[in-house]
Amino acid sequence: MEKIGFIGLGIMGKPMALNLIKAGYQVNVLSASNASGILKEAGASLIDNIAELSKHSDIIITMLPDSPEVKNVVSEVLEGINSGSLFIDMSTISPAVSLEIFTIMKDKGVSALDAPVSGGQVGAEAASLSIMVGGDEPSFNRALPIFQTLGKNIVLIGKPGAGQVTKACNQMIVGITIQAVSEAFSLAKKAGVNLSKMREVLLGGFAQSRILDLHGQRIIDKNFVPGFKVKLHKKDMGIALQTGNEYHVSLKATALVAELMGQLVKNGFGDLDHSSLALLQEEK
């Protein structure tokens, strides 16, 4: 098995790295990470810096918050990465930055994939993530056993950057649907309709969705403990809007929901689950 260097042991990265260790992979992580103790106990090797981690790994995986963090890490990865290695960024970042990274890595003799995921913390822990991949087929085939350890729905979308464009589209659909459910529940509540019964019947019809199922229940319960923080979803909506501008595509609903998410963050609710969009309906 190839050695994996995993950078970014947050709410998503930590369970993903643990699943790789459980599958028998030798995983290298940074000793400075807050989760390094847990990973070491599980069997990971601790390495002091990114350059050394890259030097001693065949495949490097990053799972970081945004484009700037990925670019900073890449600059250090390049100091140690070996020709013939594979770099996989599983963060959600700008497609343009993914293309930039692909070019930089290619110049170093390194293959690169953009492979953002959907499924949240639950999916990361259960190894049931949906993985949308941009890059060439040989690199995808090389990474496929790793992806199969982390997820269930794994698709090579197309050329470099295609995975990130797909993730942006995913986040648009999720965000807009959460807002739709929030508005529908707000209207029903004001009209005196039982939300639990409404949710039950709608789940049997054309309005059925995973958002209505899971986040509809969250809204009813007022349970906004984060599975995916609204401040991160706001960032993703910004990526979608930026990409829309690059391709001259009008994204009116995306812009509206991004603005509402920004309002939540401004109000101090950025660390709540993105289903907390429903809180803004209560203010109206």
3-state SS, 86-147, equals EEEECCCCCHHHHHHHHHHHHHCCCEEEECCEECHHHHHHHCCEEEEEECCHHHHHHHHHHH
182 within 8 A of 280, measured Cβ to Cβ: yes
Token pair recorded at residue 87: 């770099």
Check if 234 is active-site: no
- Residues 6 or more apart whose Cβ sits within 8 Å of residue 202: 208, 212
Please tell me which residue in 40, 71, 108, 167 is annotated as part of the active site.
167
Report the 10 Å Cβ neighbour count for 121.
15
6 within 8 A of 13, measured Cβ to Cβ: yes
Active site residue ranges: 167
